[in-house]
Amino acid sequence: MPLPTRHGGHTLFSQYAFPPNELGYCGPPGTVIPGAGTALAGQAREFDGAWPYLAALAAAAGGADVLDEEVVHSYWVGGALLAAVDPGDLLTRVRRAFAGQTTGLLDAVTSRNILAHHSFHVFVVYPWVRFLDRDPVTPLRIMQSCRIRWGTVDSVDGDHAVMRTRPLTSESETLTLGAPIGERVRWRRNGASLIAAPHPGDRVAAHWDWVCGALTDDDVTALAAATRATLDLVNEIRTTVGAPARTGSR
């Protein structure tokens, strides 16, 4: 199988940011599938869910550009740069960015356990974790779609691919990843795609209902590690302080 190639930071940001942007969940309205890879990156500051993390990662990288490839890759996928982020600086940035908004477990987080990764935003900052004890079906579905998940392509049928991936589940009030299942996701629409045509055996990332990136084995390891670290944090908080009071979602 062909080895995945890492794209420039602007392209990479657009690939991963497009799926929620298309649905109107994040960033500016009216975007189209990125072609040259810079359509969304030029408006990255408007993605308020990603910007404080990117800024903290850029600072940790010695003042790199916020859309430097390593910075963008670290936020969406993971990697060694996550450990270099100043946790106090990151916590300040995130709490400032979301002051006055309903969040999930952010109030219970200390600088010791904050992570500059998309999974942290999905599971800790977004409010959906608050509703798991009421009706887990909808929160699980949304967090599963919103997180960056990895898998191996089983088959490709027209504009869609089936990938084997571990779904987010809740067992005895613990968030975890279940046994692999087949998930059907879009890789192309009207001839436009976020990555080159996938083939069976390829390792890919998905965000919402789009295949948004090709992954190396190291990428999968990094993404799995970051996801597990965040899930461990969520489970620890929910065990020690309990689920936060339900105050609605933003």
Residue by residue, pLDDT tens for the chain (250 residues) are: 333 444 588 889 989 999 998 888 887 776 666 654 456 667 777 788 899 999 999 999 998 899 999 999 999 999 999 999 999 999 999 999 999 998 999 999 998 889 999 999 999 999 999 898 888 899 999 999 999 999 999 999 999 999 999 999 998 789 999 999 999 999 999 888 999 999 999 999 999 999 999 999 999 999 999 999 999 999 999 988 765 544 433 3
- The Cα–Cα gap between 179 and 166 comes to 6
- The Cα–Cα gap between 220 and 78 comes to 9
The token pair that represents 70 in the structure block: 């390593």
C-alpha distance across the termini of the chain, in Å: 43
The kind and range of the H/E element at 224 are: helix 217-240
- The answer to whether residue 246 is domain-embedded is no
3-state secondary structure 48-115: CCCHHHHHHHHHHCCCCCCCCHHHHHHHHCCCHHHHHCCHHHHHHHHHHHCCCCCCCCHHHCCHHHCC
- The answer to whether residue 248 is domain-embedded is no
SS3 192: strand
- The answer to whether residue 125 is domain-embedded is yes
- The answer to whether residue 95 is domain-embedded is yes
- The answer to whether residue 249 is domain-embedded is no
The structural domain count of the chain equals 1
Q: What angle do CA 18, 19, 20 make, to 5 degrees?
A: 95
The token pair that represents 183 in the structure block: 């998930």
Q: Give the pLDDT score at 76.
A: 98
The token pair that represents 84 in the structure block: 């270099």
What length is written for the chain? Answer: 250
Count CB neighbours of 163 within 10 A: 27
The token pair that represents 195 in the structure block: 């990555």
- The Cα–Cα gap between 140 and 74 comes to 24
- Report whether 15 contacts 37 (CB < 8 A): yes
Cα-only R_g, the chain? 17
- The answer to whether residue 2 is domain-embedded is no
Structural domain that includes position 114: 9-240
Q: Give the pLDDT score at 171.
A: 83
The token pair that represents 112 in the structure block: 């010791």
Whole-structure pTM value: 0.90
- The answer to whether residue 46 is domain-embedded is yes
- The answer to whether residue 250 is domain-embedded is no
